Amino acid sequence: MFPAAGSRSEEVYKRAQRVMPHGSSRKSLYDMRSYAHCGEGSRIRDIDGTYILDGSNNFMVLIHGHRHAPTMTALSEQLGHGLSFGLPVLGEVLLAEHLCARVASVDHVVFCSSGTEAVMHAMKAARSITKRQKIAKCEGLYHGTYDYAEVSNAAPVKPGFQGFPVSRLSSDFGMPHVLEDVVVIPFNDAAVTEQILREHAQEIGGIVLDLAPSRVGYVAADPSYVKALRRLADELGMLLIFDEVASFRLSYGGAQELYDVTPDLTAFGKIIGGGMPVGAVGGSAKAMKIFDPTEKGGVSFTGTFNAHPLTMAAGLATLNHYRVEDIVALNKKGDRLRAMIRSGIAKQGLPAHVEGSGSFVSIFFAPRMGNGYHAIAHRPEEQALVQRFWSAAMDRHLLVDVSARLNISTAYSDADVEEAAAAIIESIEEAFNRSQPAAA
């Protein structure tokens, strides 16, 4: 972290370093400057008294921003009944009913504690159902920190590259044997993907796809690509798994609602927990039968905090207030934010590029063409610009993800959108060394 000298955050950080590696339990927060004290609507107040416009929303979790009144009320009511039990609770049934009614592909659903777990369980289910060991996933796409999901999730970006991706470990100390069980396919390249899937037709149990991947600037998966995956999965006896941990916010029934394609399984997380730890796997009754504990040869699905009462209460309250009209309004604000940034960088003659969909925004520091991983993902030579942009945004009291991505919540007013756009444009200018740093 980089707290201001003499600040309370600096004092807390020194204490944190004595008890945690680099002072934090979350790698994604290592670069932050201060500690949060409280939040309200679209803003955070840190322990140093600074108000920050929140463009992270705890990495896409808080769809309604901070202290959303119905969610807080639901949590308070559940707290009055107790924290957790060795018995199921009604809240689990209510949230399951909501998701099954909301998402066309979901007949049954089960809850866990994170998106990483949800993807992991979906992969295990696909292997168990098909009796095949391998999983196919797209190069460069992030699906959590399960060993198999991490394969090639941050592959070296090579602009102009076309062809067959290589399976890579996420770190020097990964388990090499997972490379044998993960087949990597190119995002949005149906022709090459088909060749790869056919080559491993008798080995692959499931195909995992994010319909609006963050590493590719939230560019939507091409409909023809998604349909090709469904066709191939059906023909080759594989399960199609959608990772909607982040993309679920894009439409009432999730991003999958925007495609004429039905997955066998879907992994959920983030907003469905209303700010509490959550993950879920949903799908057809046929596929979800693999989690039935009365069935022989099924996949064990258990966990101390699965379907936690507080999560179920917060999730239901949040989703009940994330209706079609709320989503349409939020996505329009996202459209407006991207348009304002594009107009600003064009006016200033900045060689930046804006991508995104719905309430997602992603900033790049060179023009982009195409819709594949190597065409869009941040390039090595951009990393210094990404860091300078993030630092400049923080100087302007706008919190964005350290990868130059942000998301907005329903708590954003029109004035918040304008403030965010102005801060982003100024931060891009500063990243390119074309403007002065913000005043302290």
Domain end among 302, 320, 338: 320
Tokens 């370093």: give the residue.
17
pLDDT, tens digit (0-9, with 9 covering 90-100), for 348-358: 999 999 999 99
Catalytic, out of 35, 134, 137, 142: 142
Please, what is the angle between helix 309-320 and helix 90-102, to 10°? Answer: 40
* Distance (Å, whole) CA 418 – CA 413: 9
Domain end among 268, 300, 320: 320
Surface-to-core class of residue 174, CB atoms within 10 Å of its CB (0-12 exposed, 13-18 middle, 19+ buried): middle
SS3 at position 353:
strand
Burial 234-268 (b: 16+ CB within 10 A, else e): eebebbbbbbbbbbbbbbbbbbbbbbebebbbbbb
- Find the mean pLDDT for residues 30-45: 93
Return the CATH number at 366.
3.90.1150.10
pLDDT, tens digit (0-9, with 9 covering 90-100), for 76-124: 999 999 999 999 999 999 999 999 999 999 999 999 999 999 999 999 9
pLDDT, tens digit (0-9, with 9 covering 90-100), for 134-187: 999 999 999 999 988 989 888 889 888 877 898 888 766 567 788 999 999 999
Q: Do 235 and 361 reside in the same domain of the chain?
A: no
pLDDT for 155: 87
CA–CA distances in Å: residue 305 to residues 85, 114, 234, 310? 9, 10, 35, 10
pLDDT, tens digit (0-9, with 9 covering 90-100), for 358-417: 999 999 999 999 999 999 999 999 999 999 999 999 999 999 999 999 999 999 999 999
Annotated catalytic residue 243: yes
pLDDT for 166: 82
Which of 273, 264, 205 lies closest to 245 in space, CA to CA?
Answer: 273
Which of 245, 201, 208, 190 lies closest to 126 in space, CA to CA?
Answer: 208
Q: Do 118 and 39 reside in the same domain of the chain?
A: no
Write down how long the chain is: 440
Give me the domain span that covers residue 199: 69-320
* Distance (Å, whole) CA 185 – CA 327: 32
The reply to whether 125 falls in a domain is yes
* Distance (Å, whole) CA 274 – CA 57: 11
pLDDT at 225 over 90: yes
Q: Do 358 and 219 reside in the same domain of the chain?
A: no
The reply to whether 170 falls in a domain is yes
- Give me the DSSP letters along 23-77: G-S-GGGTT--S-EEEEEBTEEEETTS-EEEESSHHHHT-TT-BT-HHHHHHHHH
Tokens 């995104």: give the residue.
356
pLDDT for 86: 96
* Distance (Å, whole) CA 108 – CA 203: 27
The reply to whether 18 falls in a domain is no
Return the CATH number at 255.
3.40.640.10
Catalytic, out of 54, 181, 189, 243: 243
* Distance (Å, whole) CA 129 – CA 243: 18
pLDDT, tens digit (0-9, with 9 covering 90-100), for 202-212: 999 999 999 99
Share of the chain above pLDDT 70, in %: 97
The reply to whether 368 falls in a domain is yes
Give the H/E segment covering residue 281: strand 279-283
Catalytic, out of 270, 322, 373, 412: 270
The reply to whether 342 falls in a domain is yes
Q: Do 309 and 333 reside in the same domain of the chain?
A: no
Domain end among 320, 353, 380: 320
**Total tally of structural domains belonging to the chain:** 2
Q: Do 52 and 73 reside in the same domain of the chain?
A: no
DSSP class of 355? E
Q: Do 231 and 82 reside in the same domain of the chain?
A: yes
* Distance (Å, whole) CA 404 – CA 385: 9
Average pLDDT in the chain: 95
Q: Do 258 and 330 reside in the same domain of the chain?
A: no
CA dihedral sign, ordered 289, 294, 296, 301:
positive
The reply to whether 140 falls in a domain is yes
Tokens of 34: 């201060």
pLDDT, tens digit (0-9, with 9 covering 90-100), for 243-275: 999 999 999 999 999 999 999 999 999 999 999
* Distance (Å, whole) CA 365 – CA 350: 9
Q: Do 314 and 336 reside in the same domain of the chain?
A: no
The alpha carbon of 245 is separated from its chain's Cα centroid by a whole number of angstroms, namely 6
pLDDT for 99: 98
pLDDT for 29: 81
Q: 47 with 37: CB under 8 angstroms? A: yes
Q: Do 313 and 366 reside in the same domain of the chain?
A: no
The reply to whether 9 falls in a domain is no
Q: Do 63 and 107 reside in the same domain of the chain?
A: no
Whether the model pTM is above 0.75: yes
The band of 440, judged by pLDDT with boundaries at 50, 70 and 90, is low
The reply to whether 1 falls in a domain is no
Q: How many CA atoms lie within 13 A of 54 on its CB side?
A: 26
The alpha carbon of 28 is separated from its chain's Cα centroid by a whole number of angstroms, namely 13
Q: Do 252 and 384 reside in the same domain of the chain?
A: no
Tokens of 129: 């159902």
Q: Do 192 and 285 reside in the same domain of the chain?
A: yes
* Distance (Å, whole) CA 404 – CA 375: 17
The band of 46, judged by pLDDT with boundaries at 50, 70 and 90, is very high
User: Which range, 11-15, 226-230, 292-296, is most confident?
Assistant: 226-230
